[in-house]
Amino acid sequence: MTEAPSVLVIQTAFLGDVVLTTPLFGALKELWPAGRVTALVIPATAPILEGLPAVDDVIVHDKRRGGWRDLWRVLREVRRRRFELVISPHRSARSALIAWASGARRIGYRESALRWVYTATVHRPWEAHETERVLALLAPLGAKAGDAQPRLALREEERAAARRLAGEGRYAVVSPSSAWPTKRWTPEGFAAVGDWLAARGYRVVITGGPGEREVAAAVAARMDAPALNVAGETTARELAALVAGAALLVANDSAPVHVASAFDTPTVAIFGATVPAQGFGPRARRAAVAEVAGLACRPCGAHGGRRCAEKHFKCMLTLTPAEVIRCCETVLV
């Protein structure tokens, strides 16, 4: 390995996963300040890495719409660049194939698909936070794990635009959706918390992706106080800027929680089908988790599901606004 190696990190999962991989980028840049670190990500997550000092370049793989043709393009691109080291926090067979095609030294998890293609593997420590699991991939390099705090970068004009959008004064971001229905708290619950925040002088900003407009609208419709609903209207970076400037984020177990961790925004994370012990809890210094403890059915999967397998959905239906508000009180100053 040269003193300034070219390193590829493969993380083609969702936005939150990419945010939680940023400590690995930082650790690699600290290990080799003159090295070149490239991230391989999907189109939806590539913008979030803009301006991050630890990432020198990005390769975009449209695995959802590009199909085999785009995979073939990426395989050729990775081969052409002659990386000296490839690290894959993503455990899919596709990611393993891309790593193998590089011809470089390859590090992955023992629990990955096609693990035999890696030249070195490490155990994925299930008991650790995801940021620490990702940093465990440094072990074959003899490097220390380093800082496990996620990091993102924003331009001042992006922060200013978020302040203009949110309006004058303090504001709180409410993010009521998730890709998995069993990870979503009720619209009535979010509305009650939104009204509580508004009564205390916070402007409430409701966020969500393009496919989450309906969920966000349901929350806004149930609030007595006015709220700014920008669901489906912001880019990933605009969402990050809104979260970065917020006095508080209230969200389900989803990507905004990890974005908030990257900016140390006070956070209340709501967990239903999943639990923080699975490694995806908030990392902000002032953070609280709202959940219904003592349910034997939790967690019901690695990512939640489309419907409650027990058909009662107690993990969310019995979580009260009073409990979430109590969590808000613990993190607000």
What does the H/E/C string look like for the chain? CCCCCEEEEECCCCHHHHHHHHHHHHHHHHHCCCCEEEEEECCCCHHHHCCCCCCCEEEECCCCCCHHHHHHHHHHHHHHHCCCEEECCCCCHHHHHHHHHHCCEEEEECCCCCHHHCCEEECCCCCCCHHHHHHHHHHHHCCCCCCCCCCCCCCHHHHHHHHHHHCCCCEEEEECCCCCHHHCCCHHHHHHHHHHHHHCCCEEEECCCHHHHHHHHHHHHHCCCCCEECCCCCCHHHHHHHHHHCCEEEEECCHHHHHHHHHCCCEEEECCCCCHHHCCCCCCCCEEEECCCCCCCCCCCCCCCCCCCCCCCHHHHCCCHHHHHHHHHHHCC
Going by pLDDT thresholds of 50, 70 and 90, the confidence category of residue 93 is: very high
Residue with tokens 């629990």: 111
Given this model, what pLDDT does residue 149 score? 96
When the candidates are 3.30.1460.30, 3.30.750.24, 3.40.50.2000, 3.40.1360.10, the CATH number that belongs to 6-141 is 3.40.50.2000
The least confident of 20-24, 159-163, 297-301 is 297-301
Mean pLDDT across the chain, nearest whole number? 96
Going by pLDDT thresholds of 50, 70 and 90, the confidence category of residue 216 is: very high
Distance in angstroms between the alpha carbons of the first and the last residue of the chain? 49
CA dist., res. 280 & res. 282, Å (int):
7
Task: State pTM to two decimals.
Answer: 0.96
Percent of the chain's residues with pLDDT above 90: 91
Given this model, what pLDDT does residue 295 score? 95
Going by pLDDT thresholds of 50, 70 and 90, the confidence category of residue 179 is: confident
Residues 249-289: tens digit of each pLDDT: 999 999 999 999 999 999 999 999 999 999 999 999 999 99
Given this model, what pLDDT does residue 143 score? 86
- Tell which CATH architecture fits domain 157-331: 3-Layer(aba) Sandwich (3.40)
Positions of CATH 3.40.50.2000 in the chain: 6-141, 157-331
Given this model, what pLDDT does residue 18 score? 98
CA dist., res. 253 & res. 30, Å (int):
30
Residues 118-132: tens digit of each pLDDT: 999 999 999 999 999
Instruction: List the one residue out of 20, 10, 72 whose CA is nearest residue 42.
Output: 10
